[in-house]
Structure 1
Amino acid sequence: MNTFAHLLGYLVDLFTALLGSVLLLRAWVYAQAIPTADPIARFCIALTDWLVLPVAKTMRASGKWHWPAILSAFGVAILSSILSRLLFGIPMSILGLVVSPFALLIRWGTEMVLWGTVIWVVLSWLQSASPVTRTLGYLVDPFLRPARRLIPMIKGFDLSPILVFILCQVILIIIPPLARGIV
């Protein structure tokens, strides 16, 4: 593979991962009932409306989940899988084309939890009164809560983000071969 194809493949992976992650974040913000006036919600809406609104005309968000955002993220994952296969010379197998988009969604969601937790920990030390810190706390709390049951606080220090970080890293070791379609 030449350098240009490698660079182009990297850029495709980067931009589709960013877009897919923001789409999943939009769905998670909706699921956690974060108000649309919140800065994180406004950020997600501003970056993804161009893709989500046309999908929302054919299907509505229902129940707890924002299905137009999830379907849009799945579409981005399919596009990323196909483009990566073409750029990196990975054969197009039916099984790979089915598994790869789901693996990408898991990877993007896991990276979102990982980075959300890291950013929340840093902000909680530096700017604990910030509205963004509070919202991030609401968004990562469903992942931290089970870890808090396993690891109690030590002298007021919450170690649960470390367990979440380790579990996310384990998932991110397992998922990339599936995301590349090597099944």
Structure 2
Amino acid sequence: MFYQIISLLLEVVVGVVGGACLLRLYMQFLRIPMSAGSGNPLGRFVFALTDWIVLPLRRVLPSLGALDTASLVAAFVLQLAKFVLLWLIAGAGGGFFVLPVLAVFGLLSMAISGLTVAVIVYAVLSWVPTSSVISGLMARLVDPLLTPIRRVLPLVGGIDLSPLALLLLLQVAAIVLGSLQRGALF
């Protein structure tokens, strides 16, 4: 019972903070303004949540072009810390060297989950005509992923099914990732 409670708490904390690190990485890659003056409340939230881990890493890890390596490494370190803590609580049995592999799979799973949530929020906001900052931000986050699908998938009765197709692709990716994880560990 203790292990399950700690596992849940770690999953939530690492999911929120690590997910914010990945969102920071993605938003910077897309060059979405995130500063306080940009009017982007999500950007301010992401900065507030991740500055404590990303800024120290940024001093030693330079960006690779548009790729913010400090945000990526921060998300990986959080995943690794989660698995190390769970490994220690479970009695430190088995190989320690499998923990970085678990962290990579956790990072990829978190990215797929985050993209899934973004597509769902985008789809819901597209049903309700609004000119809010969040709907524009969600469009900027999701449109680069939907554009290639829209080139292949035509409108059906005036309805854009590309978000549904992207959700299906993300679910397939999650299934493949889970299968690869099981295969890598056993």
**Structure 1 residues 162-173: aligned runs within 5 Å:** 162-173=164-175
In structure 2, the partner of 1:156 is 158
1:112: how far off? 0.9
Q: Secondary structure at the match of 1:57?
A: helix
Matching of residues 1-183 of structure 1 within 5 Å: 3-36=1-34, 37=38, 38-87=40-89, 91-93=93-95, 96-176=98-178, 178=181, 182-183=185-186
1:166 Cα deviation after fit: 1.3
Note the C-alpha offset of 1:83.
Answer: 2.2
CA–CA distance in structure 2, aligned partners of residues 136 and 176 of structure 1: 27
One-letter amino acid of the structure 2 residue matched with residue 6 of structure 1: Q
**What's the Cα RMSD here?**
2.1
Tell me, in whole angstroms, the C-alpha distance in 2 between the residues paired with 1:157 and 1:40. 28
Question: What's the TM-score once normalised by structure 2's chain length?
Answer: 0.86
The answer to whether the 8 Å contact 1:55/1:72 transfers is: yes
Distance 1:155 1:126 in 2: 19
What is the CA–CA distance in structure 2 between the aligned matches of 1:144 and 1:23, rounded to whole Å? 22
When structure 1 is superposed on structure 2, of 66-75 and 52-61 the one drifting more is 52-61
> What is the aligned-residue identity percentage?
28
| C-alpha deviation, 1:134, in angstroms | 0.9
Distance 1:28 1:173 in 2: 23
**TM-score where L is the length of structure 1:** 0.87
Q: Structure 2: how far apart are the matches of 1:96 and 1:141? A: 36
- Structure 1 residue 121: deviation in Å? 0.9
Partner of 2:185, secondary structure, is coil
1:121-157, Cα deviation, whole Å (9 max, x unpaired): 1112225311111111111112212222232111221
- Larger RCO, structures 1/2 (Cα 8 Å, 6+ apart): 1
Contact 1:148 1:160 in 2 (8 A): yes
Number of equivalent positions? 180
Q: CA deviation at 1:89?
A: 6.1
Moved more, 89-98 or 65-74: 89-98
Cα deviation digits, residues 6-26 of structure 1 (max 9, x gap): 111111112112211110000
**Structure 2: gaps (5+ residues):** none
